[in-house]
Amino acid sequence: MSDVNEIITALSELEQDNTVPRNIKDRVQRTITALNGNGEMSMKIDKALQELDEVADDINLQAYTRTQIWNIVSMLEKL
């Protein structure tokens, strides 16, 4: 479970970053909500991965932010 907390912490840091566009922050918040929600862990991870895949495809995303998203996706895929 600590792995999920690490992922949520990384997502929260992204959400607080002033260089991240508002629409991306909204998706990051939805990802955090999905991970904190009730239900089976595999379903929560799947929902979070779907959100982050859409975030990573956004053309307004800075390269370093995209790299952070990919790192978080990798962490989720290991769970």
Q: Say if residues 59 and 35 touch (Cβ distance below 8 Å).
A: no
pTM of the model: 0.89
pLDDT of residue 60: 85
> For 23-64, how does the pLDDT look when each residue is reduced to its tens digit (9 = 90+)?
999 999 999 999 999 999 999 999 999 999 999 998 888 999
DSSP 23-66: HHHHHHHHHHHHHHSSS-HHHHHHHHHHHHHHHHT-TTS-HHHH
The residue extents of the domains of the chain are 2-78
What is the spatial distance between Cα 37 and Cα 4, in angstroms, rounded to a whole number?
Answer: 12
1 has pLDDT over 90: no
pLDDT of residue 78: 92
pLDDT of residue 51: 92
Asked: is 2-78 a CATH 1.20.1440.50 domain? The reply is: yes
